[in-house]
């Protein structure tokens, strides 16, 4: 099933894809990825433009612990770069604003302060699935990645620190991924 086919699934009045319908259509996608990508953004025009032709049935998902330096080097859809940079710039005020520069929601700032990472793993695809020259492409989690990028830039978090991330790879990459 292509990402564009998500538009045929039932939606809530708010325009989100109904989770139970998404679960039936994509039983092999982990629930966290399903919620972040299919349910929350499946009907989003920007996501449809970027991922419409992607066959979700050929993507194998894994939750990985990855170094910050690899994550922050991911490519992203250019339409999301303005938001990414605004969050990055806001977080650069860390020296004067402390953890509230990361996020105004206390529970989010507290999680970063305590664990030095995000509370929910963002979603990436391997670059070859999106024709990116980089090894990873960010699908969902632009705010989270911008915060991490800024905190690494400020040396608040080390570039070799590890963070959980969902990574979708082509089925054909499965053997390479498990061997490496």
Residue 5 confidence (pLDDT): 96
Kindly list the domain boundaries of the chain, sorted by start residue.
Answer: 3-54, 68-179
Instruction: Please indicate whether residue 173 or residue 1 has the higher confidence score (pLDDT).
Output: 1
160 has pLDDT over 60? yes
Residues belonging to the chain: 180
Rg for the chain, CA atoms, rounded:
17
**pTM, to two decimals:** 0.92
178 has pLDDT over 60? no
- When pLDDT is cut at 50, 70 and 90, the band that residue 175 belongs to is very low
Which residues fall within 8 angstroms of residue 124, CB to CB, at 6 or more apart?
71, 74, 136, 137, 138, 139, 165, 166, 167, 168
Beta-strand runs (E) in 24-177: 59-67, 75-76, 123-126, 136-140, 162-170
The mean of the pLDDT values for the chain is 93
Residue 122 confidence (pLDDT): 98
Q: Distance of CA 34 to CAs 18, 54, 61, 125, Å?
A: 11, 15, 11, 14
| Overall average pLDDT of the 160-178 stretch | 80
- Looking up tokens 């790879």, which residue turns up? 169
Residue 171 confidence (pLDDT): 81
Mind listing the pLDDT tens digit for each residue in 10-38? 999 999 999 999 999 999 999 999 999 99
- When pLDDT is cut at 50, 70 and 90, the band that residue 173 belongs to is low
Q: Distance of CA 27 to CAs 19, 60, 90, 133, Å?
A: 11, 12, 38, 30
Mind listing the pLDDT tens digit for each residue in 117-131? 999 999 999 999 998
């Amino acid at each position: 099933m292509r990402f564009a086919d998500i538009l045929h699934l039932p939606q809530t009045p708010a325009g989100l894809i109904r989770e139970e319908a998404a679960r039936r259509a994509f039983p092999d996608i982990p629930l966290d990825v399903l919620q972040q990508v299919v349910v929350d953004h499946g009907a989003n025009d920007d996501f449809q433009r970027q991922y419409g032709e992607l066959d979700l049935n050929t993507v194998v998902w894994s939750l990985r612990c990855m170094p910050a330096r690899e994550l922050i080097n991911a490519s992203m859809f250019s339409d999301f770069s303005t938001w990414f940079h605004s969050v990055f710039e806001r977080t650069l005020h860390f020296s004067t604003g402390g953890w509230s520069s990361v996020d105004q929601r206390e529970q989010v700032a507290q999680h970063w302060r305590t664990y030095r990472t995000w509370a929910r793993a963002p979603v990436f695809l391997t670059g070859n699935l999106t024709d990116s020259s980089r090894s990873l492409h960010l699908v969902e989690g632009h705010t989270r990645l911008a915060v991490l990028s800024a905190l690494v830039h400020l040396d608040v978090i080390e570039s070799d620190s590890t963070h959980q991330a969902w990574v979708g790879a082509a089925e054909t990459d499965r053997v390479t991924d498990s061997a490496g």
